[in-house]
């Protein structure tokens, strides 16, 4: 997604600038040929960091001249660790990076642009590719993707007299109402009422209505008619008692989905494993469906990209390693190891990914999914949307007033 608006400098960038980094970046290191003996440093986050070490061992056997040193980094410290490394000039050769980081670190000038002769945009989901782009330049190669789809209890829907997945907003609210009225559930749909990252539950409504926070030209549009319509629909679930207004931090929707208190929620691909392993009694009693549509069926896109440090002395070897990880075979292998959804669409044409009906729901959703803009202060911006959503779900403001306030606040963050 192109970014024409300039963004206010975030705290992370300001800290790095204090250490002497300029926006034009480092000088770049002299590159060692890919076939020379060398050590490649790689940082990967969370569970991916642990799994990637196993893949690195396989890679080393086929590339005996390259030692791949993988450092697992917890997501809770990942941002600060990357900022510190950027400031000190000690970025790893390769790093995993989420879309919310991309704008900040490209502004710091520490990322090498993607070699688009090696990595073709057409091979990846559009939303996956756009997460690695800033101002029209790709800095990250999509590694894996995720999106949100609708999980619903088929057994309880049948009890309520409904035998098909909802495909529109009206059908979803009708099913939520029927769950409560005819199947005896406590709630109809679990969506987050307030708190950090509430916006992630709101995105399927916002994007399906044709809205956005910031449009492709960099203009703030969170108070558009489409956004207002989406927030009214979101808030109606709380007004009608179909959704819980007081969800606690750390709430486990899987448990309530299992005991029948919550019959529907928006979830990612990891929820398939959580339900299979944690709620085995539900086998055959639930399904996934694409986001019910308003103007369209459009969900949020997530996932991670792989970046190369601008100052790396091992860019050729780093490029080959990323090519292995994001190629068709490497992506299929990564899915087997982690259940992370491949970003490379060619990996979806055979095997389990092609044959599993539930996985194909995720693929269809990814085909139209929308990525958040790659802004250096995206967290500050989405926090204003979180506050607007909470004002509506708690009955403190209308959708129009809450989004008008958010519009003004976000405009002050975008220059």
* pLDDT digit string, tens, across residues 97-119: 988 889 899 999 999 999 999 99
**What share of the chain in percent tops pLDDT 90?**
83
Query: For residue 134, what is the enclosing H or E element?
Result: strand 133-134
- Cα–Cα distance list, 283 to 30, 252, 340 (Å): 56, 19, 21
Domains and their CATH numbers in the chain: 11-146+301-368 (3.40.190.10), 149-300+375-411 (3.40.190.10)
Check residue 272 and give its pLDDT.
93
CB 346 within 8 A of CB 128: no
* Per-residue pLDDT tens digits for 322-363: 999 999 999 999 999 999 999 999 999 988 899 999 999 999
Question: How far apart (Å, rounded) are the C-alpha atoms in residues 32 and 315?
Answer: 7
How do residues 395-404 score in pLDDT, each as one tens digit?
999 999 999 9
Q: What is the pTM of this model?
A: 0.88
Q: Is 163 exposed, middle or buried (0-12, 13-18, 19+ CB in 10 A)?
A: exposed
pLDDT in tens, 36-93: 999 999 999 988 999 999 999 999 999 999 999 999 999 899 999 999 999 999 999 9
Q: Band of the pLDDT at 30, cuts 50, 70, 90?
A: low
Q: What pLDDT is stored for residue 8 in this prediction?
A: 39
DSSP string, 318-345: HHHHHHHHHSHHHHHHHHHHH-PEESBG
Instruction: Record the tokens describing residue 226, joined without a space.
Output: 């489409």
pLDDT tens, position by position, 199-235: 999 999 999 999 999 998 889 999 999 999 999 999 9
Q: For residue 124, what is the DSSP state?
A: B
Contacts of 174-183 with CB under 8 Å at 24 or more apart are: 175/264, 176/237, 176/242, 176/243, 176/263, 176/264, 177/240, 177/242, 179/153, 179/263, 179/264, 180/241, 180/242, 183/156, 183/157, 183/159, 183/260, 183/263
Mean pLDDT of 307-317: 97
Are the CB atoms for 165 and 152 separated by under 8 Å? yes
């Amino acid at each position: 997604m192109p970014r024409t608006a300039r963004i206010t400098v975030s705290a992370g960038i300001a800290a790095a600038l204090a250490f002497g980094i300029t926006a034009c970046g480092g000088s770049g290191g002299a590159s060692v040929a890919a076939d020379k003996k060398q050590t490649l440093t790689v940082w990967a986050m969370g569970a991916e960091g642990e799994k990637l070490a196993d893949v690195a061992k396989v890679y080393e056997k086929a590339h005996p001249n390259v030692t791949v040193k993988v450092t697992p980094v917890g997501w809770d410290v990942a941002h600060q660790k990357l900022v510190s490394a950027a400031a000190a000039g000690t970025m790893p050769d390769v790093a995993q990076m989420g879309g919310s980081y991309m704008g900040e670190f490209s502004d710091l000038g520490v990322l090498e642009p993607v070699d688009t002769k090696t990595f073709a945009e057409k091979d990846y989901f559009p939303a996956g590719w756009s997460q690695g782009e800033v101002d029209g330049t790709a800095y990250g190669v999509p590694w894996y993707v995720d999106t949100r789809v609708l999980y619903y209890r088929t057994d309880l829907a049948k009890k309520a007299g409904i035998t098909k997945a909802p495909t529109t907003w009206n059908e979803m609210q009708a099913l939520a109402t029927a769950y409560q009225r005819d199947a005896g559930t406590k709630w109809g749909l679990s969506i987050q009422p307030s708190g950090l990252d509430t916006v992630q539950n709101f995105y399927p409504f916002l994007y399906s209505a044709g809205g956005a926070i910031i449009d492709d030209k960099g203009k703030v549009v969170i108070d558009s008619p489409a956004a207002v319509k989406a927030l009214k629909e979101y808030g109606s679930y709380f007004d009608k008692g179909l959704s819980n207004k007081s969800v606690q931090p750390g709430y486990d929707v899987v448990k309530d989905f299992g005991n029948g208190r919550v019959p529907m929620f928006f979830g990612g691909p990891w929820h398939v494993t959580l339900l299979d392993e944690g709620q085995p009694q539900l086998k055959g009693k639930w399904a996934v469906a694409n986001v019910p549509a308003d103007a369209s069926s459009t969900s949020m896109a997530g996932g991670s990209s792989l970046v190369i440090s601008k100052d790396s002395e091992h860019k050729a070897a780093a490029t080959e390693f990323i090519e292995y990880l994001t190629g068709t075979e490497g992506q299929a292998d990564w899915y087997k190891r982690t259940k992370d959804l491949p970003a490379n669409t060619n990996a979806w044409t055979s095997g389990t990914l092609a044959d599993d009906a539930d996985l194909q729901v995720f693929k269809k959703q990814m085909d139209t999914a929308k990525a958040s803009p790659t802004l250096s202060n995206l967290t500050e911006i989405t926090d204003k949307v979180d506050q607007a959503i909470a004002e509506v779900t708690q009955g403190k403001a209308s959708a129009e007033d809450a989004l008008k306030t958010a519009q003004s606040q976000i405009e002050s963050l975008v220059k």
